[in-house]
Structure 1
Amino acid sequence: MAFGPASRLGVSAFEDTPPLELVPRSSWEDLESIIRAVYRQVLGNAYVMESERAAIAESQFKRGELSVREFVRAIGKSELYRSRFFESSPRYRFIELNFKHFLGRTPDGLEETRRHSTILDTEGFEAEIDSYLDTDEYQNAYGENIVPYYRGYKTQPGQTMVGFTHMFAMLRGSSSSDLKGSISGKKPVLNQYLIQQTPLSVIAPSGGSAGEGWSFQDTSQSARTRLGVGAGEEGKVYRIEVTGYRSALKVNRVSKFRRSNQVYLVPFDKLSQEYQRIHQQGGVIASITPVN
């Protein structure tokens, strides 16, 4: 699959922002920047009110009593993180967000999420937070004084294409948040795909240029339409996934479809006709793949 520029995939802000690192004799402004970056990363870009900030941990960090990693740990174990993600989300949604917030990637598979589910059962919330920060992976990626950052959307040695595509479903652009930026709401985004080890279409987030992109939404069975499947001499069927449906009118761009994603199962002899129809209705084709 050929990917467009980073700006079209919603990761340009992450690509253009170098990692922040605490260095000796950092200025007061540098310390403040690191604190803001930690809140942004650990809390999934959610807005933090002044009254919600961890004043004691911030003071300890500014006095040099905490490294960046220990400040990340303090925010991760805070009542704010607990209430926003642990107490208000299903277990597997909480775990997939922990991977994103602390390791900058998604779970590698179902077994990895199960291990963390066991930690929650046997050792509790704080041990679950420690289980990311005390790993060799965290140390190798960030060390003691680099603010964690999203890295799962970059191809890396040993990374599967499945995990690579999953990160785009979790990372919906720098303006989204993990509280309000996902159409899935509080439901797990990846759980069924981890179980099946299936990749996802890479779809640009909403806010792109006209006719392109939409927020990620699972295309469940209810969104699928069969158009004469099985008919035709060729005998082949193709799965067309469409995203970004909107009206062709320039003033009113509200889509007539209740779902932003649609999936059509189309026989080969109707493929060209369906392609034209989709574009006439303002849809953007995300993928065309053979079913049989």
Structure 2
Amino acid sequence: MQTILDEIAQQMAQTLDKGEVATYIPQLAQVDPNQFAISVALPSGEMFSAGCADKHFSIQSISKVFTLTVALGRLGESIWSRVGKEPSGDPFNSIVQLEHEQGKPCNPFINAGAIAIADLLLQGHQPKETLAEIIQFIRFLADDDSIAIDEKVARSEIETGARNASLAYFMASFGHFQNPVDAVLGTYFHHCSIAMNTQQLSRAGLFLANNGINPASGYPIVSAERAKRINSLMLLCGHYDGSGEFAFRVGLPGKSGVGGGILAIAPGKASIAVWSPGLDVIGNSKLGTQALELFAAKTGWSVFGE
């Protein structure tokens, strides 16, 4: 495994086209694109890494996997009355589908869907309480109490969040929101600003590779059935309108973020996290996708068979 990761990291270092960093969030625009990290966490507790695997980055939309898990744990299947389970086929911040579906987002991983999940999580709670619950959950999964929100990124998101605010107010116009829009948006912006490294992120995703059980503690996070369903949503919707391409090239459930991270799950085998801040035209990590394609080819791991 270490040889595979070293080979991938070396190949990524030699790749000239590393994509473009996200510029619409000023704090992300400052990140050096010439960085790459990959970590593989196994249910046995073993961890393999290459590149700058201890460098923290903004996980952005990868946090939506964890907020969905918390929402399912607290509210169960009732959340599907607020968000759908279908791929969008549109950019992550598109408003077009929302109008067609009368304010119901088609899945929990596009921005509108994750904002709707944040509204559900806020029920009976203040934003600070909800964020504390989300962070504490991720810390528990990663077995690392140092994980925290990058406040500079959060402020940057709030200052440039007009598009997300428009999505939220549009949904609220259909009567779907149960909390003040500003409180929902603040919660959403802050959980997207959680900073982690690939080692922490791969460890946090292990429960999805292990039938819903956190292997470090033996504690069931979700049922095996629910883990399977979260993985299926990641495969179908985790890369927005690039989800089909990612499934075709990599063949693993994955969730990307515009910070350049990707969390991928090989069910029954491992949780894999990659990070390279340069993005492709859709908004997914360019080198991260290439690295995972190489990884899947070298390991033979794919949900579609070896």
Q: TM-score, normalised by structure 1?
A: 0.27
Q: TM-score, normalised by structure 2?
A: 0.26
Q: Which has the larger radius of gyration?
A: 1
Task: Flag the structure with higher helix content.
Answer: 2
* Higher RCO (C-alpha under 8 Å, 6+ residues apart): 2
